[in-house]
Amino acid sequence: MKITTVSLMCLFLLLSVCSCTKGVIANKTAKDWYEDVGIAKKDDIVLVKNASKVLMALNSKNPWVRIYAANDLSLHGDSSSHFIPTLIDNCMINNEPVARASASAIKEIAGSDSSEYYAAVKSLMSSSNQQAVIYGIGLAELDQSVFLYTKDTIERLSGHSNKSISVKANGALIKGTMGKYRPTAKTQKSNNDKMAIKKTEIKPYAVAVIIGNSDYSKINKSVPNVDYAINDSKSIKMFLNINLGFDDTNIIYLENATQSELISAFGSDKSHKGKLFNWVRPGESDVFVFYSGHGAPGLNDGNGYLLPVDADPSTVELNGYPINTLYSNLSKIPAKSITVVIDACFSGNSQAGALVKSASSISLRPIDVPKGTSNMTVISATGVGEVASWDENAKHGLLTSYFLKAIDGEADKGKTGNNNQQIELEEVKKYLELEVPYMARRLYGREQHPQISGNSTSVISTYVD
C-alpha cells in the first residue's frame, strides 16, 4: 500500500485538528462544569451557599476546574481565606499548573508576608512534581522572609537525587547565605530590637492525631454530613505545622475515619497501645488530638461515642468509638503534655439534623476526664444535651472557629488575657466561654457551652504580633 505525500499531509492536518479540538473541549468542559454547578459569576464564589461547590471544584479530577476555581478565588482577598487549607493541599499535587495557580491564589488572598503563603511555598517544595518543587524554590528566592521560613526544606532538597532540584536548591542557599534576597517589612527590626517575624520553634517530638469526619451519607444515607469537618481538620493541621512547630511526619491525619482507623490510632478497650502510643517519646512528646465530626449517644448506656463514618448511630455501642475509652487510653500515654479538642456533640442531634430519632429520651451521662491526668487538657464543644453549631461565615465548626482565634492570640487580648504573648488555658477558657455561647445564641437562638478542663496555667500556644 502506497502512502502519497498528499495523504501524509492530510493525515497530519487531521491529527492537528483533532489535537487542538481536544484541548478546546478539555477547557470548555472544565469551564462548563464550573458554571453548571451554579457559580458562574465570579462574585458568587464566596457566597456561603456555594462553599461545598467551590470545594468540589478545588478537588475536581479535571485540573482545569481546579485552576479556574483558584484563579477566581484569588480575586476576592480575605473573603476566600477559608479555602486556603484546600489550596495548600493543591500546592502539593503532581500537577505543576494547578500547584502554581493555588500558590498564586494564596498570595493574593492572604498576602506575600503571611504564614499561609509561606506554608504554600513549603508545600510546593513537597510536591511530587519536579517543576512545582523548582517553582517553589524560585518563590523563596524572591523574598527573604519566605526563604527564612523554608530554609530547612531547601537545605534538605539540596541533597535531592534529582539533579535539577538539587542544583536549584543549592543556588538558593548560596544566594540566601550571601544576603542577596530582597528585604521585606517583615524582616526589619522593630523598636525593641526583636525580629518582627519569628520562625516557629520546631518541636521534633510533638505528635498529633487530627480527624475530620464529614462524609457520612455515602455509607448511611440517614446520617447527615458534617459540612465543615474537613475544613476544621485541615486548618488545625496547618496551625500545628506553622504556628506550633509540629513536623508533618509526626501528624496522623485522617479524613472520614472508620472505626478500625480510630482503633488503630488510639487503641481499644483491650489495649491502649495504638499508633499514637507507639509514636510518643516518653516524657518528651507533646500530644495534640483533634476531632471534628459527629458524636452520638449510646441508646442503652447513655455514654458518648465518636461516630466513625461507617457506623450506625442506632447501634453506636457496637460500632462507635467510646469517648471514655479515648480518654482512658490517652491517660496511659507517657507524654509530656496532652491536649484534646473535640468539635462534636453527643446529644443525638446536629446542626444538619437528628442522628438518633429517640435521642431526646436518652439520659446522657457527663463525660469526665480520668482522674490523675494532670498533664491532660480537654476542650469539647458542648455541654450535655447541647448541639455543636457551625460558623457558616468562617466555614468551620463554631468551637473550631473560635479556638483557632483564641490560640492565634485573641484570647491573650482584651478582657480575657494579659497581653504577654502566651496563651494559657485559663485565657482560652475565658475566651471560649465568652464567644461561643454568645454566637450560638445570636446565630441560632440556642445554648452551647464549651467544656474545658486541665491545668489553667498550661501554655497552649505563643504568638508574635
Distances (CA, A) of 229 to 117, 290, 302, 314, 334: 23, 11, 24, 22, 29
CA proximity to 346, closest of 303, 293, 296, 398? 296
The C-alpha atoms of residue 195 and residue 176 are separated, in whole angstroms, by 18
pLDDT tens-digit series, residues 263-322: 999 999 999 999 999 999 999 999 999 999 998 888 788 788 999 999 988 899 999 999
DSSP 3-state of 100: helix
| Better-scored residue on pLDDT, 50 or 309 | 309
The answer regarding whether domain 24-187 maps to CATH 1.20.120 reads no
Phi, psi of 240 (to 5 degrees): -60, -40
Percentage of the residues of the chain whose pLDDT score is greater than 90: 40
pLDDT tens-digit series, residues 398-455: 999 999 999 988 999 989 989 888 899 999 999 999 999 999 999 999 999 999 999 9
> Among 37-41, 75-79, 197-201, which stretch is predicted with the lowest mean pLDDT?
197-201
Q: With 0-12 CB in 10 A as exposed, 13-18 as middle and 19+ as buried, what is 285? A: buried
Give the per-residue pLDDT at 53.
Answer: 76
Please report how many Cα atoms fall inside a 13 Å half-sphere around the Cα of residue 154, on the Cβ side. 27
pLDDT tens-digit series, residues 125-163: 989 899 999 999 999 888 877 888 888 889 889 888 998
User: Nearest 10 degrees: CA dihedral of 109, 96, 236, 339?
Assistant: -150
Angle, helix 51-58 to helix 63-73, in steps of 10 degrees: 130
Do 207-462 and 24-187 have the same topology in CATH? no
User: What is the chain's mean pLDDT, rounded?
Assistant: 81
Give the per-residue pLDDT at 24.
Answer: 40
At 237, which helix (H) or strand (E)? helix 229-242
**Per the structure block, which three cell numbers stand in for 17?**
485538528
DSSP letter at 234 equals H
Give the per-residue pLDDT at 50.
Answer: 65
Instruction: Work out whether the CA dihedral 149, 151, 152, 154 comes out positive or negative.
Output: positive
Segments of 110-222 assigned E as strands? 207-212
Compute the radius of gyration of the chain from its Cα atoms. 25
DSSP 3-state of 337: strand
Give the per-residue pLDDT at 370.
Answer: 66
Q: Where are the domains of the chain?
A: 24-187, 207-462
DSSP letter for each residue of 274-315: SHHHHHPPTTT-EEEEEEES-EEE-TTT--EEE--TT--GGG
Given a contact cutoff of 8 angstroms between Cβ atoms, the answer to whether 391 and 352 are in contact is no
Average pLDDT (60-73) is 85
Give the per-residue pLDDT at 54.
Answer: 80
Q: Which residue has the cell 487503641?
A: 267
Average pLDDT (117-121) is 90
Which amino acid would we find at residue 423? Answer: I
Average pLDDT (71-95) is 86
Given a contact cutoff of 8 angstroms between Cβ atoms, the answer to whether 216 and 225 are in contact is yes
Contacts for 24 with CB less than 8 Å, ≥ 6 apart? none
pLDDT of 3 above 80: no
Give the per-residue pLDDT at 116.
Answer: 86
The C-alpha atoms of residue 98 and residue 87 are separated, in whole angstroms, by 9
pLDDT of 245 above 60: yes
pLDDT of 26 above 60: no
Given a contact cutoff of 8 angstroms between Cβ atoms, the answer to whether 366 and 378 are in contact is no
CA proximity to 461, closest of 203, 171, 130? 203
Give the per-residue pLDDT at 31.
Answer: 60
pLDDT class for 241, splitting at 50, 70, 90?
Answer: confident
Given a contact cutoff of 8 angstroms between Cβ atoms, the answer to whether 340 and 289 are in contact is yes
290 beta partners: 210, 341
pLDDT of 251 above 90: yes
At 453, which helix (H) or strand (E)? strand 451-453
Topology of domain 207-462, CATH: Rossmann fold (3.40.50)
pLDDT tens-digit series, residues 185-231: 333 333 333 323 344 567 889 999 999 999 988 888 888 889 889 98
**Per the structure block, which three cell numbers stand in for 290?**
483533634
